[in-house]
Amino acid sequence: MERLLVEPFYVMKVLERAKELEKRGEKVIHLEIGEPDLPVPNKVKERALELLKSLELKYTESVGIYPLREAISSYYEREYGVKVEPERVIITPGSSPGLLALLKVAFEFLGEVSYSDPGYPCYKNMVKFLNIKGRALKVFPENQFKVEAKDLKTPVLIVNSPSNPTGSLYSKKELSKLAEKAFLISDEIYHGITYGQRATSVLEVSENCAVVNGFSKFFLMTGWRLGFLIVPKEFVPQITAVLQNIVISPPTLSQFAALACFEEETLRELKENIKVFKERRDLLLKGLKEIGFKVPVEPQGAFYVFADASKFTDDSFSFAFEVLEKAKVAITPGKDFGSNGTEKFVRFSFCTSKRNIEEALERLYSYLR
Amino acid sequence: MERLLVEPFYVMKVLERAKELEKRGEKVIHLEIGEPDLPVPNKVKERALELLKSLELKYTESVGIYPLREAISSYYEREYGVKVEPERVIITPGSSPGLLALLKVAFEFLGEVSYSDPGYPCYKNMVKFLNIKGRALKVFPENQFKVEAKDLKTPVLIVNSPSNPTGSLYSKKELSKLAEKAFLISDEIYHGITYGQRATSVLEVSENCAVVNGFSKFFLMTGWRLGFLIVPKEFVPQITAVLQNIVISPPTLSQFAALACFEEETLRELKENIKVFKERRDLLLKGLKEIGFKVPVEPQGAFYVFADASKFTDDSFSFAFEVLEKAKVAITPGKDFGSNGTEKFVRFSFCTSKRNIEEALERLYSYLR
């Protein structure tokens, strides 16, 4: 029982140690967490309060309430100009269980699944959990850590644009090329959070693909645990049967409250937040470079900087702990995102205030220079 | 893509048809649903309202908030006299994802998993989803649909006491015998809902076992999606890593609100509800027998009657639709619970008022007699 079945998040060890330091009264600055610090939209909270007073929170359909499926369908039409019947939208308790169900169904009916290294760790871990065939595709800074069509040998590929941890954005043309060679599972959880051009949805380039998305990043509803899938029509009965069995239904209050996300006022507020993220990004990028980190790919989306720390270390796992002990700044070791060159990298998140970012940069500067 | 990967719940087809009838203005009485109709405890709702006003709902630890793990640990000590460190209690977003994670870990480290036929359908469906080895053990009315130690050939067994769909209760002695032969995964979701003797927890008879439980039945928090596991210490890092990947964390509001479940006043209220369920059970049992159903095992717990309909049919799946069309009563076909003799059985749930049960019985009587 020593060996772990699926890899844990190594950053949790950093977080554990950070908590110990905090118990001793130290002030740690958290740049490891991928959770927006901004508060949930007002309208969502108001709606939830009203509902909680008037509604008994019973199970809903396993695929979620129809009005929310409709609202997401309209949102994708408005944002991306794609027509998706509400029946193809499936609400899930967070995007993770949705991806898990989708991966299983896609593998059984299409075959082996590829994902990038470095990339979001849950892809490989879910593949392992499901005991299905998966393949890591090495990606490199030279191509902005993006998968290239020529390297793709499996019938299914997970793409993540904007990407965690690198912030890379796939162009419409790049997505098209990939979609010609494989069934794409497009993790669009960071959509809405981009700095410059907007993100392309895989639905704009292909009919035969699936989207994983949710309410935890752009919509700021992390602890509400709500996600969604958009899948081809023939996947719907499959995914429905799986979700009935593995989750029963998504949280009821979150589903009804999330309807408020799509009101004009809320969307406007949420879009305003991107300016805040952009300022933080620019500040962090500039500071990290001054200290001596290399940033081969400046993030075009999401809220992370994937920084090359080879000036300071060839073991970024130990480096993360060293920086925590000495500078009291918590960061995520590259190891969490794969094994392809990740010993040189660390991930900085900018889910905290400019003031905190400034202080973190000062601390890092003092310790590392 | 025609064949479904995991079996759907056949009762969903009944429910779909019931909804069509209702759209046409028919009044259908629902005896198919396994969801208590009673409202959530007042204190839970009050707590949720307060929290929603004051708290940002962020991610929690993947294993859930510590105070809730402590509260469950105390509750198991008080109810069953067992000592369980809070660290062994893991909060999950409903009991289903908890069971899924546990099944995977138990299989990888111990081996093949048995479950009863008839039994709760998710057991076999999760085994299929995870692509692990599982074995259905036929159980019969003669032994109250309970698994006997002599038939057990695998290192892991799922027991469900009180059982869905039969309402059978395993005695302490029976659980002990089973625990001597296998690692038990004890689905205790219907604990608290018993008519006469209380249910034994597997933790009373063995150290080397695991519990699946949650807040959706006795605690009436269905749509809040909250469950928990109690596992051996060495399982904790494994289950934690799995849950980090497949669910991230349980819904935050539900976790904090659920703390109110363990206040004396709330527990007293919840225990009072059992009288309501008992009256309904007695009414339904008497009525079904008068109509001509046989009930080989009178339910000692949960809120279902598993009734032998062989006087009326040898195809209980068609019979469920026939009863819906003709008597406007929705019930669950035995097929949902396995293939061992289930074509003769249907499940009646008593999650509805005495008045509705009376009317359903009258309708069934008129149609079937």
DSSP labels, A349-360: E--S-HHHHHHH
Q: Which residue of B has its CA nearest to A245?
A: B122
What pLDDT was estimated at residue B310? 97
Among A35, A53, A93, whose Cβ lies nearest the Cβ of B225?
A93
Nearest CA-CA distance, residue B123 and chain A, Å: 9
Q: How many CA atoms lie within 13 A of B347 on its CB side?
A: 28
Nearest CA-CA distance, residue B308 and chain A, Å: 26
Query: In whole angstroms, how far apart are CA A232 and each of A38, A78, A126, B191, B338?
Result: 34, 19, 21, 40, 30
Q: Which chain B positions have a beta carbon within 8 Å of A225's beta carbon?
A: 93, 225, 247-252
CATH number for the domain harbouring residue A17: 3.90.1150.10
CB contact under 8 A, B253 and A125: no
When the pLDDT of each residue in chain B is averaged and rounded to a whole number, the result is 96
Residue A305 lies in a domain: yes
Q: Give dist(CA B223, CA A226) in Å, integer.
A: 13
Residue A5 lies in a domain: no
> In degrees, to the nearest 5, what angle opens at C-alpha B265 toward C-alphas B263 and B266?
70
Counting Cβ atoms within 10 Å, is residue B201 exposed (0-12), middle (13-18) or buried (19+)?
buried
Among A56, A241, A248, whose Cβ lies nearest the Cβ of B5?
A241
Q: Give dist(CA A262, CA A75) in Å, integer.
A: 7
> In degrees, to the nearest 5, what angle opens at C-alpha B234 toward C-alphas B233 and B235?
90
What pLDDT was estimated at residue B264? 96
Q: Dump pLDDT digits (tens) for B144-188.
A: 999 999 999 999 999 999 999 999 999 999 999 999 999 999 999
Q: Give dist(CA A44, CA A258) in Å, integer.
A: 6
H/E stretch holding A316 reads helix A316-327
pLDDT higher for A33 or B279? B279
Q: Give dist(CA A75, CA A237) in Å, integer.
A: 23
What pLDDT was estimated at residue B198? 94
When the pLDDT of each residue in chain A is averaged and rounded to a whole number, the result is 96
Q: Which residue of A has its CA nearest to B62?
A: A12
Mutant choice from B33, B42, B52, B212 vs A, greatest count of A C-beta within 10 A = B52
Domain boundary among A212, A243, A263: A263
B187 DSSP β-pair partners: B160, B212
| Whether residue A66 sits in one domain with residue A21 | no
CB contact under 8 A, B251 and A254: yes
| Whether residue A187 sits in one domain with residue A163 | yes
CB contact under 8 A, B223 and A131: no
Query: In whole angstroms, how far apart are CA B186 and each of A346, B95, B172, B175, B237?
Result: 42, 12, 13, 10, 20
Mean of the pLDDT values across residues B95-119?
97
CB B191 within 8 A of CB B12: no
| Whether residue B201 sits in one domain with residue B230 | yes
pLDDT category at A3 given cuts 50, 70, 90 is: confident
Q: Dump pLDDT digits (tens) for B244-255.
A: 999 999 999 999
Report which DSSP code applies to A336. Answer: G
What would you report as the CA-atom Rg of chain A, rounded to the nearest whole angstrom? Answer: 20
Residue A6 lies in a domain: no
Three-state DSSP class for A260?
helix
pLDDT at A112 over 80: yes
Three-state DSSP class for A151?
helix
Q: What percent of chain A has pLDDT over 70?
A: 99
Residue A99 lies in a domain: yes
Domains in chain B, number: 2
Q: What percent of chain B has pLDDT over 90?
A: 95
CATH number for the domain harbouring residue B189: 3.40.640.10
| Whether residue B212 sits in one domain with residue B90 | yes
CB contact under 8 A, A251 and B59: no
pLDDT category at A2 given cuts 50, 70, 90 is: low
What would you report as the CA-atom Rg of chain B, rounded to the nearest whole angstrom? Answer: 20
Residue B146 lies in a domain: yes
Give start and end residues of each alpha helix (H) in A112-215: 121-130, 172-181
CB pairs under 8 A between A and B: 179
Question: Which 3-state string (H, E, C) describes chain B?
Answer: CCCCCCCCCCHHHHHHHHHHHHHCCCCCEECCCCCCCCCCCHHHHHHHHHHHHHCCCCCCCCCCCHHHHHHHHHHHHHHHCCCCCHHHEEEECCHHHHHHHHHHHHHHHHCCEEEEECCCHHHHHHHHHHCCCEEEEECCHHHCCCCCHHHCCCCEEEEECCCCCCCCCCCHHHHHHHHHHCEEEEECCCCCCECCCCCCCHHHCCCCEEEEEECCCCCCCHHHCCEEEECCHHHHHHHHHHHHHHCCCCCHHHHHHHHHHHCHHHHHHHHHHHHHHHHHHHHHHHHHHHHCCECCCCCCECCEEEEECCCCCCCHHHHHHHHHHHHCEECEEHHHHCCCCHHHEEEEECCCCHHHHHHHHHHHHHHHC
The token pair that represents B286 in the structure block: 């008497």
Q: Give dist(CA A136, CA A339) in Å, integer.
A: 10
Nearest CA-CA distance, residue A171 and chain B, Å: 28
| Whether residue A286 sits in one domain with residue A246 | no
Q: Dump pLDDT digits (tens) for B176-229.
A: 999 999 999 999 999 999 999 999 999 999 989 999 999 999 999 999 999 999
H/E stretch holding A72 reads helix A66-80
Closest CA to B14 of B369, B362, B324: B324
The token pair that represents B47 in the structure block: 């707590």
What pLDDT was estimated at residue B2? 59
Q: Which residue of B has its CA nearest to A220?
A: B58
Mutant choice from B244, B336, B349 vs A, greatest count of A C-beta within 10 A = B244
Distance of CA B327 to the CA centre of its chain: 27
Q: Give dist(CA A299, CA A221) in Å, integer.
A: 23
| Whether residue A17 sits in one domain with residue A150 | no
pLDDT at B9 over 90: no
> In degrees, to the nearest 5, what angle opens at C-alpha A195 toward C-alphas A194 and A199?
35
Q: Dump pLDDT digits (tens) for A205-247.
A: 998 999 999 999 999 999 999 999 999 999 999 999 999 999 9
Domain boundary among A237, A263, A289: A263
- Whose structure tokens read 């007695």? B282
Pairing of strands A183-187, A156-160: parallel
Q: Give dist(CA B64, CA B78) in Å, integer.
A: 21
Q: Return the amino acid letter for B85.
A: E
| Whether residue A205 sits in one domain with residue A174 | yes
What pLDDT was estimated at residue A8? 83
Counting Cβ atoms within 10 Å, is residue A52 exposed (0-12), middle (13-18) or buried (19+)?
buried
pLDDT at B1 over 80: no
Domain boundary among A263, A292, A307: A263
| Whether residue A360 sits in one domain with residue A246 | no
CB contact under 8 A, B245 and A96: yes
Residue B2 lies in a domain: no
Q: Give dist(CA A72, CA A222) in Å, integer.
A: 18
| Whether residue A146 sits in one domain with residue A68 | yes
pLDDT category at B3 given cuts 50, 70, 90 is: confident
pLDDT at A1 over 60: no
Mutant choice from B3, B47, B226, B248 vs A, greatest count of A C-beta within 10 A = B248
Q: Which chain A positions have a beta carbon within 8 Å of B224's beta carbon?
A: 57, 251-253
Among B130, B222, B247, whose Cβ lies nearest the Cβ of A94?
B247
Q: Give dist(CA B356, CA B17) in Å, integer.
A: 19
Q: How many CA atoms lie within 13 A of B11 on its CB side?
A: 23
What pLDDT was estimated at residue B37? 94
Q: Give dist(CA B134, CA A160) in Å, integer.
A: 35
Among A48, A96, A251, whose Cβ lies nearest the Cβ of B52?
A48
H/E stretch holding A13 reads helix A11-23
Domain of residue A79, residue span: 42-263
Q: Give dist(CA B107, CA B215) in Å, integer.
A: 26
Q: Dump pLDDT digits (tens) for B16-31.
A: 999 999 999 999 999 9
Residue B331 lies in a domain: yes
CB B17 within 8 A of CB B331: no
Report residue A38: phi and psi, to 5°.
-70, 150
CB contact under 8 A, A9 and B244: yes
A72: how many CB neighbours lie within 10 A of its CB? Answer: 26
Residue A246 lies in a domain: yes
pLDDT at B369 over 90: no
| Whether residue B228 sits in one domain with residue B302 | no
| Whether residue B85 sits in one domain with residue B25 | no
Report which DSSP code applies to A39. Answer: P
| Whether residue A145 sits in one domain with residue A15 | no
The token pair that represents B291 in the structure block: 């109509």
Pairing of strands A345-349, A304-308: antiparallel
Q: Dump pLDDT digits (tens) for B34-43.
A: 899 999 999 9
Q: Which chain A positions have a beta carbon within 8 Å of B6's beta carbon?
A: 241-242, 245
Report which DSSP code applies to A111. Answer: -
H/E stretch holding A254 reads helix A252-258
What pLDDT was estimated at residue A9? 87
